[in-house]
């Protein structure tokens, strides 16, 4: 609240005064949730007659005395200090021991001075608001009510999949599950006696595939679509003649090495952000240069100068997309829908400006190819602080801002900030996750927007209204209260039309993510995500589920304690610590919006500093739910404070990126049953999670375990677009990195199989989805075995299935048909094409027998022996022309397993036909099933074979040699030991006698 009269949480207007006593209107006397009378009337008219926060009926509130309204008209000091209504997911049991020289608590003095400043400001604002409300004529107030009712309409709606599509889909899933049960009953009860190991291997693989199918299929049970109303968003928060009420947004762009991530690509991302269709005073762009490169710094300086011309051009003519490189290279009629006579002339002039800008940036890149012996120097002759990328101080430069350089038309530009965090030897910097957490702290000190959007440096804003799309969820009081982030699908440029290696991931983004949106929300995929800053701070949503007596919602672990009457020294120590908290400044008993359980929790200075770090400005910013720089912050010292929070030692002994093990920071919940007492402990963390290659999945998982949900937003025009590796080797190494992160999560204590069961906040279908994201690499082991089985069957003359009966034939046919029908119905409700689905199936096999296998191998090596294996990629050949990278071959060991499988199956097909020719007509029938099985493998690996040969259809000799060697060794070993033939087989005994000349 910025004044004595609260702000309505639905329409954003002043709550106003009550009609009976002239005091501030109170809608709910139980929790004092601020809602104006107009919105209450509209809610009751729509059939929602309970409080949005505590669910207390409004009828009961009308019978309460007016004492509550009097209390509400005098907000307590703790609420004035900025303590928000979010549930704090921790409490400290450590007393405050920091004092100044006179013995007074430093924290108390600092906060008291802050309160005095805000109280003086609020008294003046309260008087002005009351006078203004009294001066408004009743007629004008009556005219405003319909407008408020229209503005109170929802900003989005859920569009469920039609029942004609989803009901048959669910029925087929259940039928397929039943058929699977009968199928496995038949497979287990009908072993192949003549090739028992072969049969057992196939059954084990089929059971694992069924388990993987369940993990992947059932989270798609309730897919949904969403529709947003941008006009309602503008009507509610951008009223004519009033200040814009849209929430500010901080954009994060991360880059490391400008030689691998070209500065021109990063610059296009930044330009698309600066030109976004959003109020300029609400946009701030932070670029993290984790390599401390002077090239990135100078390219941003050039970009900020070019932005003065590019931003007004985009907004004047509504350009899409607003990344100049991709706008000027797209093939379309740029005169379409452009009726301004000056557009053609200005577009040509802007294209010339961009070409000159590219020349300047490319000149910087060419200059940076050779580093001077004495290191780089800046324009004023001083050495560049980041000459040593592993040992340099923190650097911050504000290029653009509200009080900085304006565009060529004299308008303000969004803020553009260059950030390079401090690097020192001996410190763990945690790569991208550490850089993102540093940006959280810097942005909180400088701008502190309540929402954060993070983008990779190669993902630009393709839809200038994307932020408004996200605000339709985050700023909707009905929807956004428990939303931790809004995830947009990833779309890519520069991919071949056939999408040979499934780079677009259409099945994942258009099928799986829609299914998750109907449960608890999509997983976080690392980019194109708008976060609620409070969720990143470790807070829990305001509408937490009810705490059941039998299961604490905050329990991550539970340990048995002694009976309550027999208190040990540990319990006495804890009680003493709790008593010391009576002197804490932030006492939750003073906040009316908290319930009795939350009021019993106290926050002290040490809990804040051990959680967030030693920065008073940053700590104050975390308490401001609606964002904004604290009034107590001195603008002249903000840059110095921002440098402090990106220091390499700032995160030591804090909760950043990891779960704190300090007992004083746990949230204790004690449950007594009889003579026994159980203590539940909930650790927590802040920001992006450390310790995993896929920090994105783990970060989103931890948020949803705390009770948050996420939203999947798919506007008609893709919100963001990026680039993806399109050649075979780079694509496999990208998949290898993702799979390795999943294996690391599986082998950690954050594994969804056993983490976070205590509170019941993660729905079981959502847990199945997260389990699928971390166990899928292990499918590579049975998949490789299953892909080799056809060759073994052809070489041995045996098969994994005995002679089929009529019942068995019906089971196999039913299973085959259910698989086809499930896929067809999935394509129907998702809207994806059959080609995209088939490419996904092919690359599932290609990645499973190559990258996923190496990820499992590397993950266990890292866990058991501490060995971090790196698989190098070396370029062997290159071509020119369109999609040249598609035919670029890079040698890597990941290519050996699928090549070996291809050769073994081809050899098996030749051997099978040779054997059938020798045995006659009777052998052709069994040969058909074996050859079909083998061709299934070859058909799935066909894109891999095309990538292996390249444009010239030539496979590197080293790949052929390794694969032939492995195939030969496998064949010789089989001939020697013949493992899949039963020892009781008479033909085998005769063959053995012949071999021994008996």
| Cβ contact 32:79 at 8 Å | no
Helix residue spans in 218-262 (DSSP H): 230-237
Strands (DSSP E) along 774-920, which ranges?
Answer: 874-877, 889-891
Indicate the pairing of strand 395-400 with strand 415-420: antiparallel
By CB atoms closer than 10 A (0-12, 13-18, 19+), residue 203 is middle
Could you give the CA distance from residue 564 to residue 562 in angstroms, rounded to a whole number?
Answer: 6
> Which listed residue (95, 458, 696, 836) is catalytic?
696
Residue with tokens 């450390």: 690
Residue ranges at the known binding site for UDP-alpha-D-glucose: 254, 260-261, 290, 431
Give the integer Cα–Cα distance in Å for 196 and 201.
Answer: 9
Comparing CA positions, the residue from 341, 353, 253, 264 lying closest to residue 312 is 353
Question: Is 100 a residue of the active site?
Answer: no
C-alpha span between 156 and 230 (Å, rounded): 9
Tokens 């983490």 — which residue?
755
- H helices present in 52-162, as ranges: 58-62, 67-72, 77-80, 106-135, 138-151
Question: How many CB atoms sit inside 10 A of residue 76's CB?
Answer: 14
Binding site feature residues = 254, 260-261, 290, 431-432, 456
Separation of alpha carbons 364 and 301, rounded Å: 11
What's the first-to-final CA gap in the chain, in angstroms? 99
| Pairing label, strands 415-420, 283-289 | parallel
- Distance CA(324)–CA(75), nearest Å, equals 50
Adjacent-strand bridge partners of 250? 284, 452
The answer to whether 400 and 406 have CB atoms below 8 angstroms apart is: no
SS3 state of residue 189: helix
Give the DSSP H/E element, type plus range, for residue 253.
strand 249-255
Binding residues for Mn(2+), as ranges, are 432, 456
Structure tokens at 546: 């009810």
Strands across the sheet containing 491-493: 460-461, 720-723, 491-493
Neighbours of 134 (CB within 10 A): 9
* 72 vs 29: CA distance, rounded Å: 9
Q: What are the φ and ψ backbone dihedral angles of 87, each rounded to 5 degrees?
A: -80, 120
d(CA 244, CA 903) in angstroms, rounded, equals 66
To the query of whether residue 696 is one of the catalytic residues in this protein, the response is: yes
CB atoms within 10 A of CB 621: 25
Distance (Å, whole) CA 797 – CA 912 = 8
Question: Cβ atoms within 10 A of the Cβ of 426, count?
Answer: 7
User: 475 is written with which tokens?
Assistant: 């700023």
Catalytic residue among 95, 250, 289, 290: 290
The C-alpha atoms of residue 542 and residue 537 are separated, in whole angstroms, by 14
Strand extents, DSSP E, 736-812: none
Q: Which residues are known catalytic residues?
A: 290, 696
């Amino acid at each position: 609240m910025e004044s004595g009269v609260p702000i309505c949480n639905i329409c954003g207007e002043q709550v106003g005064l009550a009609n009976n006593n002239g005091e501030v209107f109170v809608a709910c006397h139980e929790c004092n949730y601020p809602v104006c009378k107009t919105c209450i009337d509209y809610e009751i008219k729509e059939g929602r007659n309970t409080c949005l926060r505590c669910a207390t009926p409004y009828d009961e509130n009308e019978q309460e005395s007016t004492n509550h309204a009097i209390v509400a008209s005098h907000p307590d000091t703790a609420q004035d200090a900025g303590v928000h209504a979010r549930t704090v997911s921790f409490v400290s049991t450590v007393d405050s021991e920091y004092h100044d020289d006179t013995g007074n608590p430093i924290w108390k003095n600092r906060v008291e001075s802050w309160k005095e400043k805000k109280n003086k400001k609020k008294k003046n604002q309260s008087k002005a608001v009351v006078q203004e409300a009294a001066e408004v004529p009743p007629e004008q107030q009556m005219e405003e009510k319909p407008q408020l009712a229209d503005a109170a309409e929802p900003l989005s709606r859920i569009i469920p999949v039609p029942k004609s599509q989803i009901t048959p889909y669910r029925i087929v899933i259940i039928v397929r599950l039943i058929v699977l049960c009968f199928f496995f009953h038949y497979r287990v009860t009908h072993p192949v006696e003549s090739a028992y190991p072969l049969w057992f291997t196939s059954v084990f693989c089929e059971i694992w595939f069924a388990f993987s199918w369940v993990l992947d299929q059932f989270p798609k049970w309730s897919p949904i679509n969403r529709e947003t109303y941008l006009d309602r968003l503008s009507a509610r928060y951008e009223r004519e003649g009033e200040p814009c009420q849209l929430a500010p947004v901080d954009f994060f762009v991360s880059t490391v090495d400008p030689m691998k991530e070209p500065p021109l690509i990063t610059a296009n991302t930044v330009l698309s952000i600066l030109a976004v269709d959003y109020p300029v005073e609400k946009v701030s762009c932070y670029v993290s240069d984790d390599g401390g490169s002077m090239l990135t710094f100078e390219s941003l300086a050039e970009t900020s100068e070019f932005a003065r011309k590019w931003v007004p051009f985009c907004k004047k003519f509504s350009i899409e997309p607003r990344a100049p490189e991709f706008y000027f290279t797209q093939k379309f009629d740029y005169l379409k829908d452009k009726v301004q006579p000056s557009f053609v002339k200005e577009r040509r002039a802007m294209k010339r400006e961009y070409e000159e800008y590219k020349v300047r940036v490319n000149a910087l890149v060419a200059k940076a190819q050779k580093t001077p012996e004495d290191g780089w120097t800046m324009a004023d002759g001083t050495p560049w602080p980041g000459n040593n990328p592993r040992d340099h101080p923190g650097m911050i430069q504000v290029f653009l801002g509200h009080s900085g350089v304006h565009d060529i038309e004299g308008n303000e530009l969004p803020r553009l900030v260059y950030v390079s965090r401090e690097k020192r030897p001996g410190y763990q910097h945690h790569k991208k996750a550490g850089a993102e957490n540093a940006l959280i702290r810097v942005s909180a000190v400088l701008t502190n927007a309540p929402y954060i959007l993070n983008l990779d440096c190669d993902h630009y804003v393709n839809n200038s209204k994307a932020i408004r799309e996200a605000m339709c969820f985050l700023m909707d009081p009905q929807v956004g209260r428990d939303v931790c982030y809004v995830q947009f699908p990833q779309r890519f440029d520069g991919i071949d039309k056939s999408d040979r290696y499934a780079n677009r991931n259409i099945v994942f983004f258009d099928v799986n993510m829609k299914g998750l949106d109907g449960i608890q929300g999509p997983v976080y995929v690392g980019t194109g995500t708008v976060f609620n800053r409070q969720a990143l701070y470790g807070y829990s949503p305001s509408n937490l589920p009810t705490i059941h007596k039998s299961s604490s919602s905050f329990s991550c672990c539970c340990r048995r304690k002694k009976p309550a009457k027999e208190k040990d020294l540990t319990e006495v120590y804890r009680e003493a610590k709790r008593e010391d908290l009576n002197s804490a400044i932030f006492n939750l008993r003073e906040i009316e919006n908290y319930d009795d359980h939350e009021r019993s929790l106290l926050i002290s200075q040490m809990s804040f500093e051990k959680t967030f770090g030693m920065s008073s400005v940053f700590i104050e910013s975390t308490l401001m739910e609606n964002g904004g720089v604290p009034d107590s912050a001195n603008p002249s010292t903000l840059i110095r404070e921002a440098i402090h929070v990106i220091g390499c030692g700032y995160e030591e002994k804090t909760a950043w990126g990891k779960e704190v093990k300090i007992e004083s920071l746990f949230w204790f919940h004690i449950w007594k049953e009889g003579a026994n007492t159980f203590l539940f402990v909930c650790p927590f963390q802040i920001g992006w999670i450390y310790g995993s290659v896929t920090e994105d999945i783990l970060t989103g998982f931890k948020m949803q375990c705390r009770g948050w949900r996420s939203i999947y937003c798919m506007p008609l025009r893709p919100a963001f677009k990026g680039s993806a590796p399109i050649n075979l080797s780079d694509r496999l190494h990208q998949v290898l990195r993702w799979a390795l992160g999943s294996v690391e999560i599986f082998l950690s204590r954050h594994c969804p199989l056993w983490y976070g069961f205590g509170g019941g906040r993660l729905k079981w279908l959502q847990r199945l989805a997260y389990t699928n994201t971390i166990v899928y690499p292990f499918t590579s082991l049975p998949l490789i075995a299953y892909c080799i089985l056809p060759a073994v069957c052809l070489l041995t003359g045996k098969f994994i299935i005995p002679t089929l009966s009529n019942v068995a034939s019906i089971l196999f046919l039913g299973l085959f048909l259910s698989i086809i029908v499930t896929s067809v119905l999935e394509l129907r409700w998702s809207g994806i094409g059959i080609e995209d689905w088939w490419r996904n199936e092919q690359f599932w096999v290609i990645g499973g027998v190559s990258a996923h296998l190496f990820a499992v191998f590397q993950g266990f090596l890292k866990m058991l022996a501490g060995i971090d294996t790196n698989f190098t990629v070396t370029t062997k050949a290159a071509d020119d022309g369109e999609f040249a990278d598609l035919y670029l071959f890079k040698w890597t060991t990941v290519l050996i397993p699928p090549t070996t499988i291809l050769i073994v199956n081809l050899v098996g097909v030749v051997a099978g036909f040779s054997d059938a020719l020798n045995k006659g007509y009777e052998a052709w029938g069994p040969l058909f099933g074996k050859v079909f099985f083998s061709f299934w493998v070859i058909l799935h690996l066909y894109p891999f074979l095309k990538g292996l040969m390249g444009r010239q259809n030539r496979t590197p000799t080293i790949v052929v040699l390794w694969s032939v060697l492995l195939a030969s060794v496998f064949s010789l070993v089989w001939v020697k030991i013949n493992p899949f033939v039963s020892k009781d087989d008479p033909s085998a005994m005769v063959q053995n006698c012949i071999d021994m000349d008996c």
